[in-house]
A = this chain, B = another copy of it.
């Protein structure tokens, strides 16, 4: 069997705090992350303009994905990002089960 269980943490938040979020991810020991530009609408209505028609032109958010081997590291990243930023910035975070090739690439 070539596949190994791992966890994917996703954080969707405001672009202006990207650097700080990435620092938490690295400080927690993750070996890498992927960033995608995103727009959208959140429960606080601050993840984009309130006019849906403009959403697609308004990529003021980022979606950050991190693959880690253990759920404890996943949960640590999620809790630290939420504790530091989600009182003052809009954002959500969730985790999904994935299966990876080459587990040596990940912590």
Q: Please report A residues at the B interface, Cβ cutoff 8 Å.
A: 2-3, 6, 8, 10, 12, 15, 18-19, 22-23, 31-43, 47, 52-53, 55-56, 59, 61-63, 67, 75, 78-79, 82, 86, 92-102, 105-106
Query: Can you pick out 27 interface pairs between chain A and chain B where the beta carbons lie within 8 Å of each other?
Result: A2-B75, A2-B78, A2-B79, A3-B75, A3-B95, A6-B94, A8-B94, A8-B96, A10-B98, A12-B34, A18-B55, A18-B56, A22-B52, A32-B92, A33-B41, A34-B40, A34-B47, A36-B37, A37-B37, A43-B106, A56-B62, A67-B94, A78-B101, A92-B102, A95-B98, A96-B96, A96-B97
Contacts of A43 in B (CB 8 A): 31-32, 105-106
